[in-house]
A and B are shown apart, each in its own frame.
Chain A
Amino acid sequence: DTAVSQTPKYLVTQMGNDKSIKCEQNLGHDTMYWYKQDSKKFLKIMFSYNNKELIINETVPNRFSPKSPDKAHLNLHINSLELGDSAVYFCASSQAGLFSYEQYFGPGTRLTVT
């Protein structure tokens, strides 16, 4: 069973379009994240949700809007796509609580904006 899944795996689209990436985890975790990884492999946190509530919102353009319909899902919608949005986007999840827990990552969605 896949722990953290993302769809689609590849997404090629033109500038100005709107697209969504879906993420689901079956681990029973309360916390989910979105990361952006650029071509140099630098990983940057974008958002974090705990039990459907937004808890981390880094300096991300408001063209990016996360939505968590339930604690097992965290989707990412991107409006008016730009060339600089081309990257690999990773969803991750972890337990919440008083300690620090490992994160479980999805396989990534490679977004190419032309």
Chain B
Amino acid sequence: GDSVTQMEGPVTLSEEAFLTINCTYTATGYPSLFWYVQYPGEGLQLLLKATKADDKGSNKGFEATYRKETTSFHLEKGSVQVSDSAVYFCALSLNSGGYQKVTFGTGTKLQVIP
């Protein structure tokens, strides 16, 4: 079946450090890939997405590139801030008969310290 594997957290970084959160996937077909972010006490919200190979999604300084050859969608940010502290979820979505089946990774908690 389809699956998403994320690096385990928590990840603790100092402010202005470089961030990478690894994400790899297994899917039948050609999925769309997403990163969602969950701030404390809130629901998930979309951070960025990519719908086909070599697409780069970007938002709020975060980037991820859809790599079909390595089945990966790693999240990166050049300089993290305390406000980036949250849980990050990688997800894939496959469309079957007009319906989406979304598979989420286990989430990676990021803590940024001043």
- Interface residues in chain A, defined as those with a beta carbon under 8 Å from any beta carbon in chain B: 4, 31, 33, 40-43, 45, 48, 50, 55-56, 90, 92, 94, 96-108
Contacts and interface: CB of A to CB of B under 8 A. Distances in A.
Interface of B: 31-32, 34, 36, 38, 42-46, 49, 51, 87, 89, 93-95, 98-102, 104, 106-107, 109
Contacts, number: 64
A41 B38 contact: yes
Contacts of A31: 99-100
Given A41-B107, A100-B94, A108-B42, 16 more contacts: A33-B102, A41-B38, A42-B106, A45-B102, A56-B99, A56-B101, A90-B44, A94-B100, A97-B95, A98-B95, A99-B95, A101-B100, A103-B44, A104-B45, A105-B43, A108-B43
Given A98-B95, A100-B51, A100-B94, A105 B100 contact: no
A41 B106 contact: yes
A3 B89 CA distance: 21
A102 B98 contact: no
B44 A105 contact: yes
